[in-house]
Structure 1
Amino acid sequence: FRAYYYVGIGLVEDPGPGFDGDKHKRKAQATANGSVNGGSMYSRAGRKQKFNVNGKVALDRNNYTGKDKEAGKSSKNKYRRLLDEIDVDEKWFPLLDYLGTFGLKDSHFIQMYSRHMPSLQINVTAAKERLDYLMSVGVKSKDIKKILMRQPQILQYTVESNLKSHVAFLVSLGIQDSRIGQIITATPSIFSYSVENSLKPTVRYLIEEVGIRESDLSKVVQLSPQILVQRIDNSWNARYRFLSKELGAPRDSIVKMVTKHPQLLHYSIEDGLLPRINFLRSIGMHNSDILKVSTSLTQVFSLSLEGNLKPKYLYLVNELQNEVKSLTKYPTYLSLSLDQRIRPRHKFLVALKKAPEGPFPLSSFVPNDESFCQQWAGTSVDKYLAFRQSFSAGSDLGSNQDCLETDAFLSIQMIQAGYKVIS
């Protein structure tokens, strides 16, 4: 009886010891993702090919120069590991060499082979034309590798019948030329969607069903290009129903949220929206307060509970002596860095004895450094930045050290920042 071996596409005769099962599986996977190269006894030029005793194509020695031999031997040595992992056609070597200039290595080629093997069969001249076009519309050379890892099929999309029409579509939405490359890098899969049958209907849905104004469309797409390639109807309806029921949010408010922060349509309801709503309730906010905050600062739904919202709340009530209701007036507070903005400015004004009695004004955290120094501190930006740097360095020693909250520590920071401290 003959033994048989399962390779993912069926039972085949057991090839015996030395058989590379993983390599065979990768080939099977590549077969599922695209036609495997080879199998024909004729070359692309139409001439019958010669085969050696192992069944592999034999080169015509009459047309194979010594230079060609050396080049072939060099490429084989260069891609020795790759040849051990997957079935590589020597005709792919020029393309692999070209893609290597963008930082792709054997491991990347193996991923491309598994995801979409036909992308490695592209003529190097055609591939260069397509990638050159992408770079001409703003894609950065350093991002080509990232794009190919996510969407290797892009090598197969022709410039005239695919790439140009999709870029023209983005331009028609009001996307500035300087942002086209960023959108392509963020969502290279856009080229696999039909402009007429998929992308334009999605845009119409955003305008007619969701209610996004046409003048805001380019901003929405730039903030979240993925909105063009997701099932927008399911995402919108689920989150609209949830926010309406949970917070009593009117449609206009939810549309404002999506316009300001379209990533809202990507956030999980159970793991993203609901836990943050419950946290805001737990610190004393009513649904109407949460609605005000989330409409003004929709990215509150993306902020970490443990690493962001909770520490800022504790600092708000314990150090700044503010009540929770102050967040409805200054929700921006929740989006600012505690270590780089909130704490240094607070401690700087305290050290200058310019912090007012009672609740610390959250409005002092809103302006940029220059305006803050002019309006609140009455100092130069350089002195504030020096204080912030020394303060941050001291804080890095340990946030639990009592000395960080003492007048002595603040005096040290002021001296280091160039101030004369009067006791």
Structure 2
Amino acid sequence: MIIRLQVLFQPLNPSSYLTPPSKRTKNPNPNPKFNPIQKPKSYKPLKNGLTSTSSSPPQPTTDCGLRFHEKLLYLETLKVNPTKALAKNPYFRSTPLSFLKSVENCLSSMGIERSAFGRIFDMHPQLLTSDPYTDLYPIFDFLLNDVHIRFPDIRKSIIRCPRLLICDVEDQLRPALCFLRKLGFEGPNALNCQTTLLLVSSVEGTLMPKLDYLMSLGLGYEEVVNMVLRSPGLLTFSIENNYRPKVVYFLNEMKGDIRELKRFPQYFSFSLEGKIKPRHRLLVEHGFWLPLKEMLKVSDGEFNARLIEMRLRLAG
């Protein structure tokens, strides 16, 4: 059972983010605590387990050699790279082993297996010296009671996106949740353990530009919203590395109609070089055409069988 910390939350009003670009004002959010003009802080500072008045990392004492060696062995049991941990988290040297184990106990209490710790701590070594009660439990509390993720699914959310553990609830997670709910991620489309990774995205810096780009293709606002609700992964793709090259190939080489992207937004989830281009070129080589869904959604074996069948029909 998690003891929910009594924190007074001030609700945000990101509804203005959801208006089409033509109707946006320069200062759509009256709440001074979350200025949409400024990029919200994505990460929160994780506190050292020891109280220190110095701004620099505390130095190890003369008798800590054995204890430090114990901590290195502890990292090895977790399958964490000690060199990387020390380089990215200098507070590790002075933090007692008992504090490190309290972080492990916190994650274990939420159902996260010890076998997953290595990947989590390697990605975010600052978690090793975090305070469970001020840094971690508030995040779990938010996921359980605000996002309404079931307790058995909390571990899935974290393993899928460990970055959740280093995001500040009020500066990052809550604004993103409000935006996504206004967008339509509620009810049957509510966030789940597979889509909570969207919460780590900046509203102004990441989510809105992707919506704007899709609308720049000639799609209406409601059409884009429906595409995103059907395929939430659209909000995780890079504009420059995913959207733009795939749109250019679709329009110039495939001579496609943007309306087909509206019907099959999953197009952007397939590899351009590994699947889209090879399959399209095979179809063109034999003078065939298939809708995006039929061309991409099937396995390689099914696609080749379909291609042979079409060739046989043509020959017959």
- TM-score of the superposed pair, with normalisation by structure 2: 0.69
Distance across 2 between alignment mates of 1:301 and 1:209:
21
Is structure 2 residue 155 aligned with structure 1 residue 205?
no
Offset of 1:328 from its aligned partner? 4.1
1:416 maps to: none
Deviation per residue, 1:263-302 (Å, 9 max, x gap): 4223222222222111111223233332233234334234
Deviation per residue, 1:59-83 (Å, 9 max, x gap): xxxxxxxxxxxxxxxxxxxxxxxxx
Point out which structure has higher relative CO (alpha carbons under 8 A, 6+ apart): 2
Contact conserved, 1:147 with 1:188, CA < 8 A, in 2?
Answer: yes
1:278 maps to: 212
Contact conserved, 2:264 with 2:293, CA < 8 A, in 1?
Answer: yes
Contact conserved, 2:157 with 2:197, CA < 8 A, in 1?
Answer: no
Is structure 2 residue 295 aligned with structure 1 residue 364?
yes
Deviation per residue, 1:378-418 (Å, 9 max, x gap): 59xxxxxxxxxxxxxxxxxxxxxxxxxxxxxxxxxxxxxxx
1:58 maps to: none
Is structure 2 residue 254 aligned with structure 1 residue 313?
no
Distance across 1 between alignment mates of 2:230 and 2:63:
49
Distance across 2 between alignment mates of 1:157 and 1:280:
48
Distance across 2 between alignment mates of 1:293 and 1:119:
54
* Larger of the two Rg values belongs to structure: 1
Q: Which of 76, 79, 83 is matched with 1:135 structurally?
A: 76
Aligned CA distance change for structure 1 residues 298 and 146 (closer, same or farther; 3 Å): farther
Is structure 2 residue 153 aligned with structure 1 residue 153?
no
Offset of 1:136 from its aligned partner? 1.0
Offset of 1:207 from its aligned partner? 0.9
Q: Which of 43, 48, 67 is matched with 1:126 structurally?
A: 67
Distance across 2 between alignment mates of 1:376 and 1:250:
37
Contact conserved, 2:176 with 2:201, CA < 8 A, in 1?
Answer: no
Is structure 2 residue 306 aligned with structure 1 residue 376?
yes
Offset of 1:144 from its aligned partner? 2.4
- Structure whose residues are more often helix by fraction: 1
Residues 152-191 of structure 1 aligned to structure 2 (within 5 Å)? 152-159=90-97, 161-191=98-128
Distance across 2 between alignment mates of 1:225 and 1:305:
23
Contact conserved, 2:189 with 2:229, CA < 8 A, in 1?
Answer: yes
Aligned CA distance change for structure 1 residues 218 and 212 (closer, same or farther; 3 Å): same
- Percent sequence identity over matched residues? 25
Task: Report SS of the residue matched to 2:111.
Answer: coil
Is structure 2 residue 230 aligned with structure 1 residue 293?
no
Task: Report SS of the residue matched to 2:73.
Answer: helix
1:62 maps to: none
Offset of 1:208 from its aligned partner? 0.6
Alpha-carbon RMSD across the aligned residues, in angstroms, is 3.2
Distance across 1 between alignment mates of 2:202 and 2:308:
45
1:304 maps to: 238
2:186 maps to: 251
Deviation per residue, 1:2-25 (Å, 9 max, x gap): xxxxxxxxxxxxxxxxxxxxxxxx
Amino acid at match of 2:186: R
Gaps spanning 5+ residues in structure 2: where?
Answer: 1-50, 310-316
Residues 42-81 of structure 1 aligned to structure 2 (within 5 Å)? none
Q: Which of 236, 244, 250 is matched with 2:173 structurally?
A: 236
Residues 383-422 of structure 1 aligned to structure 2 (within 5 Å)? none
Amino acid at match of 2:85: I
Task: Report SS of the residue matched to 2:70.
Answer: helix
Distance across 2 between alignment mates of 1:123 and 1:254:
52
Aligned CA distance change for structure 1 residues 125 and 370 (closer, same or farther; 3 Å): farther
Distance across 2 between alignment mates of 1:361 and 1:289:
18
Deviation per residue, 1:342-388 (Å, 9 max, x gap): 1112112333x2733xx543333234444544x43459xxxxxxxxx
Contact conserved, 1:131 with 1:155, CA < 8 A, in 2?
Answer: no
Contact conserved, 1:224 with 1:263, CA < 8 A, in 2?
Answer: yes
Distance across 2 between alignment mates of 1:214 and 1:289:
34
Amino acid at match of 1:138: K
Gaps spanning 5+ residues in structure 1: where?
Answer: 1-32, 37-113, 380-423
Deviation per residue, 1:113-155 (Å, 9 max, x gap): x95251586733222211211221232xxx3222212112223
Distance across 2 between alignment mates of 1:119 and 1:349:
66
Offset of 1:211 from its aligned partner? 1.9
Contact conserved, 2:207 with 2:235, CA < 8 A, in 1?
Answer: yes
2:21 maps to: none
Amino acid at match of 1:132: L
Distance across 1 between alignment mates of 2:171 and 2:189:
15
Offset of 1:203 from its aligned partner? 0.7
Q: Which of 116, 137, 148 is matched with 2:57 structurally?
A: 116
Amino acid at match of 1:135: E
Residues 15-54 of structure 1 aligned to structure 2 (within 5 Å)? none
Aligned CA distance change for structure 1 residues 294 and 135 (closer, same or farther; 3 Å): farther
Aligned CA distance change for structure 1 residues 35 and 311 (closer, same or farther; 3 Å): closer
Distance across 2 between alignment mates of 1:295 and 1:219:
21
1:326 maps to: 260
